[in-house]
Amino acid sequence: MKSLYEHLPPVEIGGRRLVGRVLFGLLVLVAVLVGATAGLLLVYTTDLPQVDALEAYRPSSITELYDDHGRVIGSFALQRRVVVGYDDFPPVLRDALVSIEDKDFYKHSGINFWRIVGAAYRDVESGGRVQGASTLTMQLARNLFLSPDRAFHRKVQETMLAIQIERRFTKPQIFTLYANQIALGHGVFGFEAASEFYFSKPAKQLTLEESALLAGLPKGPSLYSPINHPDRAQKRRNLVINSMLEDGKITAAQAADARSAPLVLRLAHDPNSLAPYFVEEIRRYLENKYGADQVHEGGLKVYTTLDVDLQNAANQAVLDGLAAYERRHGWKGHLENVVAEGAVLDKYSHPDWDDEPEVNGYVHALVTFAGTGIATLKFGRYTAAVGQPEVAWTQQKLADILKTGDICYVKIQSLGANGAAHVSLEQDSGAQGALLAIDNTTGGIKAMVGGRDFNESKFDRATQAMRQVGSSFKPYVYTTVIDGGASPDDTILDEPVSFETPSGPYSPHNYDEKFEGIITLRRALAQSRNIPALKLANKVGIKSVIDYAGRFGITAKLPPYLPVALGAAEITLMEQTSAYSVFPNDGVRVIPRYITRVTDYEGRVLEEDFPDVKDVISERTARIMTSMLREVVLHGTGVAAAKLPFPVAGKTGTTNDFTDAWFMGFSPTMTCGVWVGYDEKRSLGAKETGAHAALPIWMNFMTIAMAGKDPGDFQPPPAMLHAVAQKVDTPDAAPAAEESH
């Protein structure tokens, strides 16, 4: 039998054999490539994370703090993110992101083959990597599971994960995961958080040009930052708009309007800057109870007692009060100069500039130019010119007090849209102030100021500073006496007196160096007479007075020395304010509290706090003391507060050498304490009494705090059956101590 090939010429037979061999070789090569590819895929996919975990995936979320009306006052987070659903991203934002990042997102199955080929071709053509080929799904896979490096094996893993994600999740689910996860600059993650940060509104309210701006950020959040690089950001925004036009998502007219729109940001204020000392107290408490990871990543909801409106009033009152104090004592100078320290003016940034400034706010500004009659200042993105009228209060020439490179302290009078501002020169010599306001009924802290500037000092003068309280301690003396059965109309002799002590005679005096003779207890407290307070403390025993102070919540260990009656005792503003709330509360003290409720990410209640009430003194004593402290305001050292259009009572406090100035006061519904002084306990200056330095701050705050509210009224004291004049004997012994006013 002849071969099938016998009828063919030899050349043709050889050609067929060659083709067969080539085909066989190609098949072997393909098999090898397939095997190698399969092997590589096996190697690269062995350690791939399971996308099933995405079903239960919850990104790191912000723990937010709310005031008593549900307004955000602070937050804790490693990544500032607000997780929302697909429908919370408006169509215009979704269209903008898809147009610029992944046009075929709703069509492909995780990868876009032709986009990869096109990107590879352009990379080869340009001689480098100029265009990415990752889909939104691939970007999501990389952000969630992989490192950001560009190695080949990572790209393979990214592709495999993207395919798995597409098989398991719908497009809206994938988009939602991506839009909540992506980094968008300045520590912000996700488009909801970005919308709130850059525009101070939820993503649902974004306009076309705003959506385009945000959609352009994933390519390079720092490179296209609208804050640091507005020109680049605007060009990138317009590129997104053009891409949307090409895809038919918007009309030519809409595109033209959006491209011509100026880049306008409404940067959100750092919520922690409103009440930083209050927020810091809560952070320490939460971390101690729940752990740092839960607090900074767990998305807790913390409902607090603070009131945003009252906190704003407290901040303004303290800063204005300190500014008034500074002006009373003249220009001291000694400004920091950053040029002398080697800084470059164009690159200098002050911590105050991290937050958006506000009218009537105070900020440190950089002097960028100082001439004979004018100086130019910079703070953040604002500039201001200062002339001689703005520094007239210093009674010096502008050229003598401001130099290029100086860091000065200013009050913002106005802010223009074009970055121009009007300011007045102020001074920060180091004087500090603190304010604490407590709701009498609930014990809730409504406002707390722990110092002039949290950025410069985290030390909380409302809760941590132990300061001598001066005459604001005297109500504990009178409470001890009244609770023992005395009447405010009982009399005492205000006269020179000397107390024998182991270290020698102690001869105190009154602040005005005068003596009034026989006066009632009511007048003695109202006029803050020192001699009567010492005689009363001696009569009932200073240990009894200290015991009563302890009932009021004073935890400091007070020495059993008679001068403690005049306030030679160190107490925190928190304890002193809480103690004074006993008087309008009919003898009951409600323990101060910061938090009302804490819930987890799912809304489950982790803790709920209710008022903790303690009986301190009798109703009779509380009402009598309230009437006596009311007399301080009506006819005594706090008489300036008598002009307030609602009932108030309280007590001034001034320590020796004017190192500490206090006013502790209350209305029927709220108790507020104010302290002014220096951290190093140096004198505020002559005549800087509690009535002069602290009371104006207290009045400014209480005026706003009580505006539009029913102030209520104090309950009248019980009718006095009789008034017995009594002469107080001199104590047997009392050690000498620093006199308090």
- Give the catalytic positions in this structure: 101, 471
Tell me how far apart the alpha carbons of residues 345 and 337 are, in angstroms, rounded to a whole number.
Answer: 11
253 within 8 A of 241, measured Cβ to Cβ: no
Instruction: Report in angstroms the alpha-carbon separations of 206 from 83, 94, 174, 192, 202.
Output: 17, 11, 21, 10, 7
Tell me how far apart the alpha carbons of residues 616 and 90 are, in angstroms, rounded to a whole number.
Answer: 57
Count CA atoms within 13 Å of residue 522 on its CB side: 15
Paired strand residues for 365: 408
Parallel/antiparallel/unpaired status of strands 420-426 and 382-387: parallel
441 φ/ψ sector (left φ>0, alpha ψ -120 to 50, else beta):
alpha
Count CA atoms within 13 Å of residue 188 on its CB side: 23
Tell me how far apart the alpha carbons of residues 477 and 493 are, in angstroms, rounded to a whole number.
Answer: 16
484 within 8 A of 449, measured Cβ to Cβ: no
Burial of 405 (0-12, 13-18, 19+ CB in 10 A): buried
Parallel/antiparallel/unpaired status of strands 504-506 and 605-608: unpaired
272 within 8 A of 75, measured Cβ to Cβ: yes
The residue written with tokens 């009392």 in the block is 734
State the amino acid at position 594 in one-letter form.
Y
Tell me how far apart the alpha carbons of residues 666 and 672 are, in angstroms, rounded to a whole number.
Answer: 6
Tell me how far apart the alpha carbons of residues 105 and 99 are, in angstroms, rounded to a whole number.
Answer: 9
Please name the residues in contact with 440: beta carbons below 8 A apart, sequence gap of 6 or more. 581, 584, 585, 590, 666, 668, 669, 670, 671
Tell me how far apart the alpha carbons of residues 486 and 723 are, in angstroms, rounded to a whole number.
Answer: 8
673 within 8 A of 435, measured Cβ to Cβ: yes
Cβ count within 10 A of residue 70: 8
Instruction: Report the chain's terminal Cα–Cα distance, integer Å.
Output: 135
215 within 8 A of 245, measured Cβ to Cβ: no
DSSP state letters, 545-578: HHHHHHHTT--S---S-GGGGGT-SEE-HHHHHH
Burial of 389 (0-12, 13-18, 19+ CB in 10 A): exposed
Label each residue of 301-364 as H, E or C. EEEECCCHHHHHHHHHHHHHHHHHHHHHCCCCCCCEECCCCCCCHHHCCCHHHHCCCCCCCEEE
Contacts 24+ apart (CB under 8 A), 608-615: 611/441, 611/442, 611/443, 612/443, 613/588, 613/589, 614/553, 614/588, 614/589, 614/590, 615/587, 615/588, 615/589
430 φ/ψ sector (left φ>0, alpha ψ -120 to 50, else beta):
left
Instruction: Report in angstroms the alpha-carbon separations of 211 from 89, 234, 486.
Output: 10, 12, 73
Cβ count within 10 A of residue 385: 14
Q: Taking the mean position of all CA atoms in its chain, how far away is CA 408?
A: 23
- Residue 506 φ then ψ, to 5°: -120, 115
Radius of gyration of the chain (CA): 36
